[in-house]
Structure 1
């Protein structure tokens, strides 16, 4: 059987399918490497999202393979051999299924080369996400062969590719608010990462694997089917796969939307003092975060009861609310940038201090931007700078408040800035706290 498979790999479109999937997938990955630079789960989920192109390509490859067999006019020759239909179909199914899976894994491997030195946390769930993606392409390839044998036309392959992409894009509209159904039947839905701690629930991956395996089996049965009754029998695995998938996948209120991996969000701390911690998924960035945290703590040391430690800002804007950091902790935004290094900019220290002094997005009534900007400018000894697309009166007011702070004795100015910080953390009113007004 291995000899027959090797022959089929050489004479079929298998090698061309591997190369096409690899080139298309790698081009998509490296067009936006920042989407998956956070680690293994980010890579696995991003690659699954790109099934919007890879799945139709695998479908078209299967249809093209069937078209080649039709042009060679070997159907009667193969049918005359004393072997069961499914056994005769196994070489082409095995060759193209192996090609589809290898093409998908080759794309993942091309991404691994970009994060191998920077991604230290490898969750088991990411392997399941990759396995389901590879299975999706096997199912597409086998289904494509079945479609190509039923409709042996030169237009079948491109039409199958367009129809496959259209199907993936319209599945969410078919089920509307039932996201759990969409994720069961669409291998690409829900794979966009909104935070580096995001994961895919194991029950969701299991249900998707069951459905895609059923789809692959149905495609294989259609390829081997010799009559209408055998083709109708291919519907049975689809019904069984859908039913079992619906049993396994959580649905309704139990469906986890954008789940967070608690292990990925665990804190890992640097040795020594001050205490500086980042999440486990960002552990390799810790050496770059430490000096940044030390600068922030040194700047904040002017205040009474100043923070004494720093940690990554673990805030997520979905799911269970993240508890706010303690008053003595400086929250630091931590994200991967180019080349696996910390994503920073010229104003990152100012943004950190904004979060410490007063920018509390959890407050219902918002925050007083000029007051906070003036307080941070006093800490950094830099004149307030206007930002784009903000009310024109913001920065002039901040400059006035900053100048008033600079005229005060250091201890008095520090006390006023500390009062702003205390009020902001409690979502209180900061108006008048810098210019000596009511407290």
Structure 2
């Protein structure tokens, strides 16, 4: 059997399907929307699943194209006259096409993995489940294409199936509203776009999707092996059973993948020496880079009385209670990853200094952003520059004016006001004008 499958791999569309999937997949993950998987392995697995929006219809069309081989070679009647059951005759083709699409899909992952292998240190088990479901989706697609291509042996079948598959994946979310969770069962790419650093796919979702895809693949095999209408009607049985089982297993709530957070990915990994700097486990490969810049910020803050002594990555997640515990001696720093998988250290030192003037998340009277930025600028001796692109332009402009006012004061008085702002921020009492002469 292995020899027959080897021959089928060489003579069928399996190699062409694998190559097409690889080329299209690599172009998609690297060039279409920029590199979205630089944060780690789970992001790579989810980005691959997101681009099944094009890979799945491509596998469907490849199966339909392969199904016309006997007709193109004008040997369909000859093979049909042999005494061997049809399922035995098509088994090598099924195996070869499955190997082809799986090889293409896994090769995409290898191509993406080479980009992050030096920086990605966290490899959760869910990555393998997400990847396996993606591969299973392509196997189901290529087998379904084989079955439908046999039933409709026309040159137009393959392109029409590709377009139909793309349309189904794109419009399925609208067809299932307001029960968006249903789309998770029938669409392998739904909610896989723009995964965050702590993103994951719940195990129940992967199990439900696997149930549906196995059922779809089984129905495709029955259709391909069918010799009459009874067998074709029987092919509906696994579809109905698989859909019912998947719907029973999948979490019946919307945004279940979008809102899912891996708690292990958020767990802090810290330096052994002081001052201690901690990052999330998913970013542990960046710890030396983050520590170097974070300690520069702590050195600047050393001008204050009772300055912060540690820097932790800000592992805030939305929605839910995904806020790290606030401590007065710890500065929270957002860790951004560049497309090449390195720490985006632009503005990191300023981010640490500004973060020292932040207060608890539940403050009824939080510190004015302009005050925070002006105080940080006085400590660094540089004009206010937003640490990240999300700062309001008006706040930056106001911080510039307050920084200039601080510079006009005697150093002792300016230092006292900056220290007072930090104390007031910790107690949620930083009133307006504190830096320019007001009272908390």
TM range (shorter): over 0.9
1:368 paired to 2:375: no
| Deviation digits for residues 254-287 of structure 1 (CA, Å, limit 9, x no counterpart) | 9565211111111111121001111111111011
1:301 paired to 2:302: yes
> Quick one: structure 1 residues 306 and 28, their matched pair in 2 at CA, closer, same or farther if it must change by over 3 Å?
same
The 5 A counterparts of 1:125-204 are: 125-204=126-205
> Quick one: structure 1 residues 435 and 255, their matched pair in 2 at CA, closer, same or farther if it must change by over 3 Å?
closer
Whether the 8 Å contact between 1:333 and 1:352 is mirrored in structure 2 is no
1:15 paired to 2:7: no
TM-score by length of 1: 0.93
> Quick one: structure 1 residues 424 and 73, their matched pair in 2 at CA, closer, same or farther if it must change by over 3 Å?
farther
Q: Which residue of 1 aligns with 2:416?
A: 415
Q: Which residue of 2 aligns with 1:355?
A: 355
1:82 paired to 2:83: yes
Whether the 8 Å contact between 1:125 and 1:200 is mirrored in structure 2 is yes
Whether the 8 Å contact between 2:43 and 2:195 is mirrored in structure 1 is no
Unaligned runs of 5+ in 2: none
Bigger mean CA offset, 52-61 vs 3-12: 3-12
| Deviation digits for residues 388-431 of structure 1 (CA, Å, limit 9, x no counterpart) | 99988655543332233223344432332233334445554531
Secondary structure of the 1:430 match is: coil
Distance in structure 2 (CA, Å) of the matches to 1:254 and 1:385: 36
Distance in structure 1 (CA, Å) of the matches to 2:382 and 2:368: 19
Distance in structure 2 (CA, Å) of the matches to 1:389 and 1:333: 12
TM-score by length of 2: 0.93
Q: Which residue of 2 aligns with 1:262?
A: 263
Bigger mean CA offset, 185-194 vs 284-293: 185-194
Whether the 8 Å contact between 2:63 and 2:143 is mirrored in structure 1 is yes
Distance in structure 1 (CA, Å) of the matches to 2:189 and 2:360: 35
Whether the 8 Å contact between 2:374 and 2:402 is mirrored in structure 1 is yes
Distance in structure 2 (CA, Å) of the matches to 1:87 and 1:11: 18
> Quick one: structure 1 residues 106 and 88, their matched pair in 2 at CA, closer, same or farther if it must change by over 3 Å?
same
Whether the 8 Å contact between 2:259 and 2:318 is mirrored in structure 1 is no
Unaligned runs of 5+ in 1: none
Distance in structure 1 (CA, Å) of the matches to 2:257 and 2:390: 36
Bigger mean CA offset, 50-59 vs 297-306: 297-306
The 5 A counterparts of 1:29-428 are: 29-31=29-31, 32=33, 34-252=35-253, 255=256, 257-345=258-346, 347-358=347-358, 368-384=368-384, 394=395, 397-425=398-426, 427-428=428-429
> Quick one: structure 1 residues 426 and 142, their matched pair in 2 at CA, closer, same or farther if it must change by over 3 Å?
farther
> Quick one: structure 1 residues 395 and 42, their matched pair in 2 at CA, closer, same or farther if it must change by over 3 Å?
closer
Bigger mean CA offset, 142-151 vs 394-403: 394-403
CA RMSD of aligned residues (A): 2.4
Whether the 8 Å contact between 1:424 and 1:430 is mirrored in structure 2 is no
Secondary structure of the 1:339 match is: coil
> Quick one: structure 1 residues 396 and 188, their matched pair in 2 at CA, closer, same or farther if it must change by over 3 Å?
closer
